Amino acid sequence: MKNPSAPMKITWIIGLTAGILGIIGHFARVDVLTEYNYQLLLIGFIALAVGTTVKGV
């Protein structure tokens, strides 16, 4: 198994932003965010997971 590496800055920003928007959508009533809160959390998690496992992403 490969050693984890730090993701690129843009990958980290995309993952973090998607995760935060998903959390906001879960706790606050914002139509677009509330409708897709779980998908946003999943996208954020996947972006961070891929960013740490694949070098250069």
Q: Which residues of 7-29 are buried (b: 16+ CB within 10 A; e: fewer)?
A: beeebeebbeebbebbeebeeee
Cα 9 from Cα 51, distance rounded (Å): 10
Q: Residues 30-54: pLDDT tens digits?
A: 999 999 999 999 999 999 999 999 8
For the entire predicted model, the pTM comes to 0.84
Q: Mean pLDDT across the stretch 19-24? A: 96
Strands (E), the chain: none
Q: Does the residue 3 lie in any domain?
A: no
> In whole numbers, what is the pLDDT of the chain averaged over residues?
92
Which tokens go with 7?
């993701």
The yes-or-no verdict on residue 2 having pLDDT over 80 is no
Q: Does the residue 29 lie in any domain?
A: yes
Q: Based on the structure, what is the number of domains in the chain? A: 1
Q: What domain range is 16 assigned to?
A: 9-53
Looking up tokens 């998607």 gives 18
Percent of the chain predicted with pLDDT > 90: 79
